[in-house]
C-alpha cells in the first residue's frame, strides 16, 4: 500500500507538463497540443487547469455517436454515411471498430442473403471467453464478491 501511496503522491506533486508526461506515460507533443500556453518545463501554479490527453476516448465516442445515429428515427439516407464517417475514429480500438462496422451494416439494411452469409462466414463464430480471475484483492478482507 505504501508503494501505491508513494506513486499517488508523486503524481499529485507534478509541477510541470514534463512531469505530467512521465506520470501519464503519454507523448509530450499531445500535452503541448492541448496546453499550448505552457512550456514543458514551466512550473505550473497550484490549481492550474491542465488538459490531459485521453487517446482511448475517441474510439469510445465514435461508438457512442454511431449508436445514436443508428437509433435516430429522423435520419434516413444519411445514417449509413454518418456511421461510416466514424470508422477512422474507431480504428485504434478493435472492439470499437467492430462495433461501429456492425452498426454500419445494420444501418445499411442489406437484404441480400448471399451477402449476409458471406459476412457471417468471414466474421466467424463469436467466441466468448471466461474472464480471468482477478490477480488482486477485490472487496474487503480478501473476499471475492458474489
pLDDT tens digit sequence for 13-71? 899 999 999 999 999 999 999 999 999 999 998 889 999 999 889 999 999 999 999 99
Confidence class for position 99, pLDDT limits 50, 70, 90? very high
The answer to whether residues 38 and 13 touch, using CB atoms and an 8 Å cutoff, is: no
pTM of this structure: 0.62
pLDDT tens digit sequence for 61-71? 999 999 999 99
Q: Show Cβ contacts of residue 40 under 8 Å, excluding neighbours closer than 6 positions.
A: 16, 17, 18, 21, 28, 31, 32
Amino acid at each position: 500500500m505504501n508503494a501505491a501511496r508513494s506513486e499517488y503522491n508523486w503524481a499529485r506533486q507534478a509541477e510541470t507538463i514534463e512531469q505530467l508526461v512521465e506520470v501519464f506515460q503519454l507523448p509530450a507533443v499531445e500535452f503541448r497540443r492541448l496546453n499550448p500556453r505552457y512550456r514543458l518545463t514551466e512550473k505550473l501554479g497550484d490549481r492550474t487547469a491542465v488538459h490531459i490527453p485521453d487517446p482511448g476516448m475517441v474510439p469510445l465516442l465514435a461508438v457512442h455517436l454511431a449508436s445514436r445515429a443508428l437509433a435516430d428515427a429522423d435520419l434516413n439516407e444519411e445514417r449509413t454515411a454518418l456511421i461510416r464517417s466514424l470508422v477512422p475514429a474507431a480504428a485504434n480500438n478493435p472492439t470499437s471498430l467492430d462495433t461501429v462496422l456492425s452498426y454500419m451494416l445494420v444501418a445499411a439494411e442489406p437484404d441480400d442473403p448471399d451477402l449476409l452469409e458471406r459476412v457471417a462466414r468471414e466474421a466467424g463464430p463469436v467466441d466468448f471467453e471466461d474472464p480471468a480471475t482477478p490477480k488482486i484483492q477485490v472487496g474487503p478482507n480478501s473476499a471475492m464478491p458474489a
